[in-house]
Amino acid sequence: MITESGVVGMTLIVCESLVRIYQTGPVEVQALQGLDLVVEKGEMIAVVGASGSGKSTLLSILAGVDAPTAGRAHVEQWDLLAMSRADRVRYRRHTVGFVRQQTASNLIPYLTARQMVDLPMTAARTSAGERRKRSAELLEALGVSAYADRKPGQLSGGQQMRVAIAVALANQPHVLLADEPTGELDTATSAEVFGALRDVNRDLGVTVVVVTHDPAVSGQVERTVAIRDGRTSSEVLRRTATADDGGTHVIAEEYAVMDRAGRIQVPRDYREALALTRRVRLALEPDHITIRPDA
- Interface residues with Mg ion (CB under 5 A) are 55-56
The one-letter amino acid at 256 = A
- 3-state SS of 281-295 is EEEECCCCEEEEECC
Beta bridge partners of 210: 46, 178
Give yes or no for residue 102 binding ligand ADP (CB under 6 A). Answer: no
Tell me which of ligand ADP, Mg ion, none is bound by residue 54, counting a contact when its beta carbon lies within the kind-specific cut-off of 5 to 8 angstroms. ligand ADP
Binding of ligand ADP at residue 55 (CB under 6 A)?
A: yes
CB 129 within 8 A of CB 150: no
105 binds ligand ADP, rule: CB under 6 A = no
Closest to 168 measured CA to CA, from 221, 106, 81: 106
**Of the ranges 49-57, 156-164, 185-193, 282-290, which one interacts with ligand ADP (CB under 6 A)?**
49-57
Smallest separation (angstroms) from ligand ADP to the CB of 38: 20
Instruction: Give whichever of 102 and 187 is closer to Mg ion, judged by the CB atom.
Output: 102
Distances (CA, A) of 284 to 219, 244, 258, 262, 271: 34, 36, 16, 14, 19
29 binds, among ligand ADP, Mg ion, none (CB under 5 to 8 A by kind): ligand ADP
Contact characters 57-96, ligand ADP, x per CB under 6 A: x---------------------------------------
Candidates 52-60, 119-127, 190-198, 242-250: pick the segment binding ligand ADP (CB under 6 A): 52-60
Nearer to Mg ion, 141 or 165 (CB): 165
- As a 3-state breakdown, the chain gives helix, strand, coil percent values, each rounded to 5, of 30, 35, 35
Going by C-alpha positions, the residue among 174, 197, 171, 156 that lies closest to residue 117 is 171
Report d(CA 235, CA 242) in Å as an integer: 23
Q: How many of the chain's residues bind ligand ADP (CB under 6 A)? A: 12
* CA 29 to each of CA 7, 22, 51, 66, 256: distance values in angstroms, whole numbers, following the listed order: 30, 5, 14, 15, 25
Min separation Cβ 228 and ligand ADP, Å: 10
> Closest separation between CB of residue 165 and ligand ADP, Å?
19
Contact footprint for ligand ADP (CB under 6 A): 22, 24, 29, 31, 49, 51-57
